Amino acid sequence: MAEAKTGAKAAKSTAKAAPKEAASKGAAQKEKGPKHTPSTPKPRGRRKTRIGYVVSDKMQKTIVVELEDRVRHPLYGKIIRTTKKVKAHDENSIAGIGDRVSLMETRPLSATKRWRLVEILEKAK
């Protein structure tokens, strides 16, 4: 029984080797297109936008914004307020503590920064 299995394995390994050679020959015969394809404008996916309050502006070109999310508890129905602090890029350092700002998601700008300032909705009093 064991000999039959080894014989079957040997037959499989030789059977697999032949298609690989045929595949490599077929790949060599294919014509390749241009090396660089012209770029086509692809529609960008919807980026998340959030509104929050600036809680820190001590870093250069970076602000810390507190984002609030209100969720209804699935069982009890109570509205639960959760907050999250995110770092956002502020190119001109114009936002100050207490400002209400609009943020947009962007590519990673640093290890912890993935948001950028879009506009200041309301200046702090």
What tens digit of pLDDT does each residue of 7-33 get?
Answer: 555 555 555 555 555 555 555 566 766
Q: Is 90 exposed, middle or buried (0-12, 13-18, 19+ CB in 10 A)?
A: buried
pLDDT score for 96: 96
pLDDT score for 20: 57
Residues (pLDDT < 50) of the chain are none
> 73 in a domain, yes or no?
yes
| Both tokens assigned to 85 | 């602090």
3-class secondary-structure state, position 84: strand
> 19 in a domain, yes or no?
no
Nearest-angstrom CA–CA distance, 29 and 101: 59
> 31 in a domain, yes or no?
no
Q: Give the CATH number of the domain where residue 103 resides.
A: 2.40.50.140
pLDDT score for 80: 98
State which residues form the domain around 110: 49-122
pLDDT score for 45: 74
> 54 in a domain, yes or no?
yes
> 7 in a domain, yes or no?
no
pLDDT score for 29: 61
Domain count, the chain: 1
pTM beyond 0.75 = no
Written as one string, the DSSP assignment of 26-81 is HHHHSPP--SSPPP-PPPPPPPPEEEEEEEEEEETTEEEEEEEEEEE-TTT--EEE
